[in-house]
Structure 1
Amino acid sequence: MSRSSGELEKDVGSEKVFEYGGEESLTQYQREVREAAEPTFVAQDDSPIDEDEHHKQDDSIGADLEQVASSKPSVNNIKSVPNGGLTAWLQVLMSFFLFMNTWGIVNTFGTYQTYYETGILASSSPSDISWIGSLQATLLLLVGSLTGPIYDAGYVRALVATGTFLCVFGQMMLSLSTTYYQVLLSQAVCIGLGTGTMFIPGVAVLSTYFSTRIATAVGIAAAGSSIGGIIYPIVFHNLQQSLGFPWATRIIGFIMLCTLLIANAVLRIRVLPAGRRKIFDLTAWKEIPYVFFVVGTFVGFLGLYTPFFYIQSYALAKHLTDENLAFYLLAILNAASTFGRVIPNLIADRIGPFNVIIPCTLLTGVLCLCLIPTTSIGPVIAIAALYGFFSGTFVSLPATIYVHITKDRGLIGTRMGMGFAVTSIGILVGTPIDGAILDASGGFTDVWVFGGVMTVVASGLIAVARVSKGGWGWRTFV
């Protein structure tokens, strides 16, 4: 008798030990999850069988087929997607905490950048320091793009558990760091690897629970990155002044541990692809919407994090405000980004993700350029809030768009991974380029020009992807 989906969700984690390869290599839990992702009816075996046995099988096939058809949802069967329910929304909570401790950590680095420039890494240049944050973000996407086959093999819990350990361990090692290479290894490499192992589960699981409401679900989950970008800088800034750098960093590590333990506890896998995911799908590069969207996100991330890393340093260097208010600029930016990851995604479910991300990306670039003539703190605060809102869309909607432009849902993870791998290069070199420009020019004007122009160009490239996918009609759902 086939088991119900509710029973499958309860049967989490078998104690069977296995070897890699073959059907024997799967735990009972992994075997059931894989069966749930297989086509409803499997082709019959053509090997000869006893005639009497054959008739007995014929008599029982009808009932068996009807039961299998109702209990084995396929990853490609949109009608079987719950699109809501307690378990589905718990996965949103799980993903929220994963975003909080992946992209939320990346969004926090601006505070560390400002501290390092006058603290334990004062002897290093802004460009050298920014390599720490950019490498951390790069590993998030790059490692995430390579974990697809591991996710498909059923090791989702292992990925999230490994990421939990690496992030918390890296944070604790950071609290002991006093030199550049120690900070690089703990904050960039260890935490970066940890966030990378959790990135794909945080996105891919939601695509199996939501279809028409996927943008809303991802938007709510992605808001976790903004919440992390608010909480962690405030905790660090206040505790660093009273308790010092080591304990401020450790307390953040304890917050990470608590929230990630909740994510591990509520994680449930509904279905997985029937086969192992390919790391590469070369046919994707023959599709114009995919190519231009990937190139657009690459160019966009070259400039997107410019204000995140440098707006605090800018306000202090220009003597626009004191250190306390300058610090809160990043918190304001991330707070506004929370709404920018939810509200536009709600709209995207109604008018299409491309129709939302293009104008938001364009406005993000324009706002970065608007920092050039600012001479007082008021306009800087307003720009920071607006920049946070519109830039949040550029971070939260790409995963939804990859789902939208991929016909075969079994290839979503592969194409998403390839796209994020390319995007990671933009994140890696973007902010160090900003630092090099700052070192060479001695002013922030060229920094804002670079960040703004890259983001504006990105909106144009994504517009090409949109037109090639859905045509010129501005009312078309794309």
Structure 2
Amino acid sequence: MSTAGHEVPPDGGWMAWLQVIGGFLVIFNAQGLIQAGIGMGMAFGGGILVLQSYFTTHLGTAAGLTSAGGSVGGMVYPAIAEQLVFRIGFPNTLRVFAAVAFFTLLPANFIVRQHSNASGGKPQMDRDMFRDVPFLLMSAAFFLTFWGIYFSFYFIVAYAQSHLHLDNHASVTLLILMNATNLPGRLLPPLLSDRRLGPVNTIIPCIFMTGIFLFVWIGATSHTAITVVACFYGFFSGAVQGLYNPAIWNFPGDNVAKKGVRVAFVFLWISIAALTGTPIGGVIIKREHGGYLGAQLFAAMTVLSGGCLLIAARYAKVGWHFTKM
């Protein structure tokens, strides 16, 4: 069956995969450069949420490929900054960033389109979601997870310089390595999710591994140790960032007109978590006079708590028996 020259969902032909390319370019800038605030919110939502109108059985793979743009951007932009800041100055480096963003986002503006059959009518307010226990537990789970997950991306460079006395090149390389391993994390677990387990079942152990490596970071007192932590943390946190969108879609219910409102509600809380989590970590570091232990514990405990709540949400939704979700 085809509509407007391309297949309808699930997994509908060349137009659907074109959305993945467009979304990749959006996330390349939204997470690789902008990272937070209004810019990321405006760009990120359209780039990732449009996939749901094209994919069902391969939504995890599509979302993983799209979110991989954040990993690539997270490698490209720090590398550009390291090479150019001391050569042409900070203002001119920002102009280079702007040029890269412009020329990569320009085609995305022409590519990203919602599927013509995806409309479910006018969005409806849904007060019932505040009585939907699995949905609320899932929302709280992702709030806590994203409250702590970005801490290491922001502070691993400063930690390496202040506590391990690494030079600028070595410390920035840690961030690039973290984003490099973040890339397969956004690709391989979503493939497993689509083929065997489902996004919720796949993301739960990845959240726990992310929290565990935040704890392991506390004991990383050498260049080799922090490099290992950065690589493993990058992989598992990448899996979380690649899978959370398809995982969310397992909870909002079947009412299409209300589903978008529910997903937007979850994204609102995730955005608040991403906005506030890292500054809270910074405040803790400042109060400890440059010590990282309190901030590391904050990040680790919030991520692990998010994993526990997601287990509770899954149990409230389907019980303990295995089902692909």
- Scaled by the length of structure 2, the TM-score of the pair is 0.93
Question: 1:41-120 maps to which residues of 2 (within 5 A)?
Answer: 80-106=8-34
For residues 38-93 of structure 1, what are the alpha-carbon distances to aligned partners after superposition, in whole Å with 9 as ceiling and x for unaligned? xxxxxxxxxxxxxxxxxxxxxxxxxxxxxxxxxxx9xxxxxx41514211111100
| Distance across 1 between alignment mates of 2:114 and 2:146 | 31
The residue that corresponds to 1:23 in the other structure is: none
Question: 1:205-216 maps to which residues of 2 (within 5 A)?
Answer: 205-216=50-61
What amino acid maps onto 2:18 in structure 1? L
SS in 2 for 1:472: coil
* Residue 356 of structure 1 pairs with residue 284 of structure 2: no
Does the Cα contact within 8 Å between 2:215 and 2:296 map onto a contact in 1?
yes
* Residue 438 of structure 1 pairs with residue 282 of structure 2: no
| Distance across 2 between alignment mates of 1:206 and 1:361 | 23
For residues 119-175 of structure 1, what are the alpha-carbon distances to aligned partners after superposition, in whole Å with 9 as ceiling and x for unaligned? xxxxxxxxxxxxxxxxxx2xxxxxxxxxxxxxxxxxxxxxxxxxxxxxxxxxxxxxx
Larger Rg: 1
For residues 224-259 of structure 1, what are the alpha-carbon distances to aligned partners after superposition, in whole Å with 9 as ceiling and x for unaligned? 111111101111111112111111111111111111
Matching residue within 316, 323, 335 for 2:180: 335
| Distance across 2 between alignment mates of 1:327 and 1:301 | 23
| Distance across 2 between alignment mates of 1:267 and 1:366 | 37
Does the Cα contact within 8 Å between 1:320 and 1:376 map onto a contact in 2?
no
| Distance across 1 between alignment mates of 2:215 and 2:155 | 14
Does the Cα contact within 8 Å between 2:220 and 2:229 map onto a contact in 1?
no
| Distance across 2 between alignment mates of 1:476 and 1:292 | 19
| Distance across 1 between alignment mates of 2:83 and 2:221 | 27
What amino acid maps onto 1:85 in structure 2? G
The residue that corresponds to 1:379 in the other structure is: 225
The residue that corresponds to 2:298 in the other structure is: 450
The residue that corresponds to 1:45 in the other structure is: none
The residue that corresponds to 1:5 in the other structure is: 3
* Residue 223 of structure 1 pairs with residue 71 of structure 2: no
Q: Structure 1 vs Structure 2: percent identity of aligned residues?
A: 33
The residue that corresponds to 2:274 in the other structure is: 427
Matching residue within 229, 236, 247 for 1:401: 247
Residue 435 (structure 1) shift:
1.1
| Distance across 1 between alignment mates of 2:10 and 2:240 | 27
For residues 196-224 of structure 1, what are the alpha-carbon distances to aligned partners after superposition, in whole Å with 9 as ceiling and x for unaligned? 22233212321111111111101100101
Matching residue within 216, 241, 246 for 1:370: 216
Residue 330 (structure 1) shift:
1.0
Q: CA RMSD in A?
A: 1.8
* Residue 245 of structure 1 pairs with residue 90 of structure 2: yes
Residue 403 (structure 1) shift:
1.7
What amino acid maps onto 1:236 in structure 2? A
Residue 352 (structure 1) shift:
1.2
SS in 2 for 1:404: coil
For residues 414-443 of structure 1, what are the alpha-carbon distances to aligned partners after superposition, in whole Å with 9 as ceiling and x for unaligned? 111101112222222211111111111121
| Distance across 2 between alignment mates of 1:6 and 1:372 | 55
Does the Cα contact within 8 Å between 1:316 and 1:326 map onto a contact in 2?
yes
Residue 308 (structure 1) shift:
0.8
SS in 2 for 1:346: helix
Q: Given the superposition, is the C-alpha separation of residues 366 and 275 from structure 1 closer, same or farther in structure 2, using an over 3 Å criterion?
A: same
* Residue 410 of structure 1 pairs with residue 290 of structure 2: no
For residues 168-196 of structure 1, what are the alpha-carbon distances to aligned partners after superposition, in whole Å with 9 as ceiling and x for unaligned? xxxxxxxxxxxxxxxxxxxxxxxx32332
- Scaled by the length of structure 1, the TM-score of the pair is 0.64
Does the Cα contact within 8 Å between 1:82 and 1:88 map onto a contact in 2?
no
In structure 1, stretches of 5+ residues that fail to align are 10-72, 74-79, 108-136, 138-191
What amino acid maps onto 1:413 in structure 2? G
Residue 106 (structure 1) shift:
4.7
| Distance across 2 between alignment mates of 1:276 and 1:198 | 22
SS in 2 for 1:477: coil
What amino acid maps onto 1:439 in structure 2? K
In structure 2, stretches of 5+ residues that fail to align are none
The residue that corresponds to 1:125 in the other structure is: none
Does the Cα contact within 8 Å between 2:181 and 2:232 map onto a contact in 1?
yes
* Residue 287 of structure 1 pairs with residue 287 of structure 2: no
The residue that corresponds to 2:315 in the other structure is: 467
| Distance across 1 between alignment mates of 2:113 and 2:303 | 37
| Distance across 1 between alignment mates of 2:216 and 2:10 | 44
SS in 1 for 2:218: coil
SS in 2 for 1:371: helix
Q: Given the superposition, is the C-alpha separation of residues 399 and 412 from structure 1 closer, same or farther in structure 2, using an over 3 Å criterion?
A: farther
| Distance across 1 between alignment mates of 2:52 and 2:271 | 22
What amino acid maps onto 1:476 in structure 2? T
* Residue 261 of structure 1 pairs with residue 106 of structure 2: yes
What amino acid maps onto 2:127 in structure 1? L
What amino acid maps onto 1:440 in structure 2? R
| Distance across 1 between alignment mates of 2:97 and 2:152 | 23
Does the Cα contact within 8 Å between 1:368 and 1:387 map onto a contact in 2?
yes
Does the Cα contact within 8 Å between 1:341 and 1:396 map onto a contact in 2?
yes
